[in-house]
Amino acid sequence: MSRIDDRFKSLNGKKALVAFFTAGDPDLSASKDIFLVIEKSGADVIEIGVPFSDPLADGPVIQASAHRSLQNGTTLKKIIELVKDIRSQSQLPIVLMSSYNPVFVYGQKKFVEDAVNAGVDGVILPDLPPEEAGEFLSFANAKKLDTIFLLAPTSTPDRIQTVGEASKGFIYYISLTGTTGTKEALSKNLEEKVSAIKSKVKLPVLVGFGISGPEQAKEAGQCSDGVIIGSAIVKLIESHSDPVERDKSIAEFISGIKTALN
């Protein structure tokens, strides 16, 4: 089993917390510190965002962080090196979230090999649907790199089945149509949608997009296997220039979410 599978199994039915931040914002050295703070505060899986100039589904908060990161000279190769560095101190599951373009430019096969060798456990490529991912999946599955696909409120039963069969690790359910970002309320039919997905797939189903605090996390966790939080964390990073205050705020936020979930 992968590190992701092991982590979900070790939870024994408790809800998982997946935390996202953009690599290289404010810089790659800080990214390592942020990762370790998030881990110590209770996250079960950490998504590291690969910045891209033309992201598909990122809202303004994550777009701005990606811009700052690119301005700092962050590249996919440097992020893979960051993961390798993190692995000297952590065995927490790591998922890279990237647009397909940086992976294509890097070379699909080489990316998979380098990522796995560095210690990456999974990858999310929001703009690579399973119907077009055959070549990438052949490389990823051969190296046991979990490819995580997304479902949305508009996903049909056939689509749910396709994603369920292609995914490994967990299913990422986008709770709202549109872009990422913190929202005041979750979708009214969230429970109905998640239940329909869980009846058709074997993997854990996690809810992302629009979860900004403990109450929303608790609500989403009641019908799912856990939550994914990104924009709220990225916002904290952006709003604290002092590393000590930044890390304290992140730690309090993550531990608060984890407590609310379980």
**Distance (Å, whole) CA 47 – CA 16:** 13
Listed in sequence order, the residues at least 6 apart from 144 whose beta carbon sits closer than 8 Å to its beta carbon are 2, 116
* Largest pairwise CA distance in the chain: 48
**Distance (Å, whole) CA 187 – CA 199:** 19
Other C-beta atoms within 10 Å of 137: how many?
17
Catalytic residue among 47, 114, 219, 247: 47
For this structure, is 165 an active site residue? no
Residue 205: in which H helix or E strand, if any? strand 205-208
- Which amino acid does the sequence have at 226? G
Question: Which residues does residue 40 pair with via DSSP β-bridges, in sequence order?
Answer: none
Whether residue 90 contacts residue 36, with contact meaning beta carbons closer than 8 Å, is answered with yes
In this structure, the dihedral spanned by the alpha carbons of residues 169, 121, 26 and 231, taken in order and rounded to 10 degrees, is 0
For this structure, is 58 an active site residue? yes
**Distance (Å, whole) CA 196 – CA 253:** 30
Strands of the sheet containing 205-208, edge to edge, are 146-148, 122-124, 94-97, 45-49, 16-22, 226-229, 205-208, 171-174, 150-151
Catalytic residue among 25, 39, 44, 58: 58
Provide the annotated active-site residues. Answer: 47, 58
